Amino acid sequence: MSSIYPTLLLTGAAGVLGRQLRPSLAQACQTLRLSDRGSCGPTAAHEQDRPCQLADRAAMEALLQGVDAVVHLGGVSVESPFEQIAPANIEGVFHLYEAARLAGTRRIVFASSNHVTGCYPQGEAIGPDSAPRPDGYYGVAKLFGENLARLYWDRHGIETVCLRIGTATAEPPDRRALSTWLGFEDLRRLVLAALAAPGVGFLSVYGVSANPQRWWSDAGWERIGYAPQQSAEAWRKQIQDLAPPADSPEARLQGGSFLGLGPWTRQP
């Protein structure tokens, strides 16, 4: 892929997925701007390190200046109390989109989550057009981000591909991942495809590898040119018996372990 954006911003660049994507994103830009709560470490000649808090609106507006496209991974990445989720995953996403509008940013690849539909039963086939059924505050916040992305496309012409990411790990960790796993190689394919595809407008797609048991449809993949090459089947024997008790919400519903987190007692 030749560089298609002069300046590309990667938020959450110091996280697990950010570190996986950082080398590949150089293919899509001339300058890669890296941002997290703290420093992302030493930079290459084509990189810029710009620490920033998503909850700081003024700082986000400064961060987006001169940015042509964004891969947004930043924020709280697991189910947590609402008070921890809201500043980065709700207010922070608003700050991102408003800063993008002011800066004239053309496209955002938004790391949404399968947890926007995590209360569907395991085994039920669903797609991006299925009704939302979030499994917690994290899923609700990601659904807010998707709806905000649609608003900013309809009102302001900022294109977004929302990636409902599955179990993005080096190897599938348990039986649920036979359906939900997204290998790191496929993650890179997915994000680069979402950046390069022309005329996406607003689009939500599931981020998952070519697992024969996957619950989520491939709707939208052809539109962005995503063709997964990895599969969890290679690990079936090692993981097929790694599952929570059969009568638990974690075993019955698609959100898996997130269904076992919370509710939390409010702290004084």
- Tell me the catalytic residues: 138
Instruction: Please name the residues in contact with 38: beta carbons below 8 A apart, sequence gap of 6 or more.
Output: 14, 51
CA–CA separation, 199 vs 100, rounded Å?
A: 18
- d(CA 228, CA 187) in angstroms, rounded, equals 9
